[in-house]
Amino acid sequence: MKKIIAAAVLILAPTIALAGGDQQHNQNMIQYKGPVELTNLTNLLADSSMFTEQKVVLEGKLIRQLDHENFIFSDGESEVRVELDDDIVLKQTLDATTQVRLFGEFEGGSTPEIEVDRIQVL
């Protein structure tokens, strides 16, 4: 009986220690407030072939919601469809006037889209 209890403790201890590890990771993300190299959306859309994929950082507004995870983003000059990951959680409500910075991956083609990994409210 003692061996079974000892084995159970050895198996469960690492599992319990790692529980919630993702929450700790999100809390420890770097919160940089300095300048960031932004991507020009107009140039990005002009060069969007079928196989174009690149990491981007954009500033602008989510001006329209298409469904629960798809929005239209505008930088004031151009518009593009963006898809927000399900794991993005914000502490405040966004509207069409909220200035945001999007970090994600641009995918070109007939319907260019940006898959957003992270949003920073400005």
CA dihedral sign of residues 46, 49, 50, 56: negative
Instruction: Supply the CATH classification number for the domain 41-121.
Output: 2.40.50.200
CA atoms within 13 A on the CB side of 119: 25
pLDDT of residue 37: 84
- Residue 55, pLDDT above cutoff 60: yes
The answer to whether 56 and 106 have CB atoms below 8 angstroms apart is yes
What whole-number distance in Å separates Cα of residue 66 and Cα of residue 93?
Answer: 16
- Residue 3, pLDDT above cutoff 90: no
pLDDT in tens, 84-116: 988 888 888 889 999 999 999 998 888 899 999
Of 94, 99, 114, 101, nearest to 45 by C-alpha is 114
Position with higher pLDDT, 21 vs 62: 62
